[in-house]
Amino acid sequence: MAKNKQEAVFTPIGQNHSKNGKFEKSVDLPPATRKKHTTLGLSDDDVVEMFRLMYLQRRFEERAMQMYQKGKFGGFLHLYIGQEAVSTGTVFALNDDDDIITAYRDHGWGLVRGISAREGMAELFGKATGCSKGKGGSMHFANTEQHFWGGYGIVGGHIPIGGGLAFANKYLDNGQISTCFFGDGAVDQGSLHETMNMAQLWKLPVVFVVENNGYSMGTAVKRHTVGEIYERAKGYGMKHACFNGMDALTVYENMKEIADEVREDSEPYFVEIRTYRYRGHSMSDPQKYRTKEELEEFQKTDPVERIRQYLLDKDVLEESDIEEIENKIEEEVLDAIDYAEESPSPEPEELYEDMFAGTPYFHDKK
């Protein structure tokens, strides 16, 4: 991290082309840091669990995509594949009671905040055993017991709620912070700027995080946003940072320092994490806006493979150990599919549940 907290963590890379010069990247990745993990406050077991969670997210979504293509469930399906280092590195940096809220690309966030593969898959299938009782679907995973306040379908619509969570934490003086995640497509929404203004004015313990995955639906970030995203914070005198989101240890290192600072100073922080999504905006996206070469270039820094290789290079695990983890996760996800298919659908009266904070008055009506 830079000594001057008003400055970004890194100097952005100016190169906009791949080595062969055949295409312009939609987003430039800053260099990933690779400090020995013991200096970051992580044990060997922590790093192994990071890999397990990242591989779980990857296989869960790959299987979910297959089930969607088979017509097992409908609606929208926004995949997080390629961005797993962001969710995983962040949850290890936060306390268990810190609040997380995000947008509709939320499967990974649910899985790292206590939602089981069974609960997640059942939710996709619209079953009563899902994490949101089958009524939320892909865009509305939630686990409030573990302070994951859900995914939201309206672009930027959840950002004021993230600010509200931070206001509540400051009011209660409970030492918790709020983290609010959204895509690069939300940075021009008025809701973000209104919330940032109030957060800085009231000194709220909140971290606003842009998961810059290169595209707002099908529009490259360089075409829809002027300047560097993280520099938006300068207009509010807000602390800010930008770093590589394709490496879980880099995400952890930076988010840990930021979270600790926000908790201590009770001041907001604005963060841009640069990552890349391998799939389209949703399953209906033909992805005609990017080249095969660009995708392959970013896959060379695949976050799951990166931490897998790290475990091998540091002699934390043998290849056979990693394969055992992968096989168990494959079994876990396949079991989740069976569980989802066999689970019951919500009863019709569930339409009237979970709509009010208390019991609806008409429940007593005969």
- Higher per-residue confidence, 54 vs 29: 54
| pLDDT, position 80 | 96
Question: Taking a C-beta distance cutoff of 8 angstroms, is the pair 302, 246 a contact?
Answer: yes
User: Would the pLDDT of 25 be above 90?
Assistant: no
Reported as a pLDDT band with limits 50, 70 and 90, residue 149 is very high
State the amino acid at position 227 in one-letter form.
Answer: G
Q: Which of 21-30, 345-354, 355-364 has the highest mean pLDDT?
A: 345-354
- Higher per-residue confidence, 34 vs 116: 116
Determine the Cα–Cα distance for residues 107 and 217; give it in Å rounded to an integer: 18
When pLDDT is averaged across residues 327-336 and rounded to a whole number, the result is 98
Residue whose C-alpha is closest to residue 93's, from 313, 263, 325: 263
The CATH number, out of the four listed (1.20.120.1780, 3.30.70.370, 3.40.50.970, 2.60.120.10), of the domain defined by the range 40-342: 3.40.50.970
User: pTM of the full predicted structure?
Assistant: 0.89
pLDDT tens-digit series, residues 84-111: 999 999 999 999 999 999 999 999 999 9
Per-domain residue ranges for the chain?
40-342
Question: Taking a C-beta distance cutoff of 8 angstroms, is the pair 57, 278 a contact?
Answer: no
pLDDT tens-digit series, residues 210-238: 999 988 898 888 888 888 999 999 999 99
Residue whose C-alpha is closest to residue 89's, from 223, 254, 205, 217: 254
| pLDDT, position 365 | 46
When pLDDT is averaged across residues 239-245 and rounded to a whole number, the result is 96
| Lowest pLDDT segment from 141-145, 194-198, 295-299, 362-366 | 362-366
| pLDDT, position 356 | 80
| pLDDT, position 290 | 87
What number of residues does the chain have? 366
Rg over CA atoms, the chain: 20
User: Would the pLDDT of 288 be above 90?
Assistant: no
When pLDDT is averaged across residues 62-81 and rounded to a whole number, the result is 95
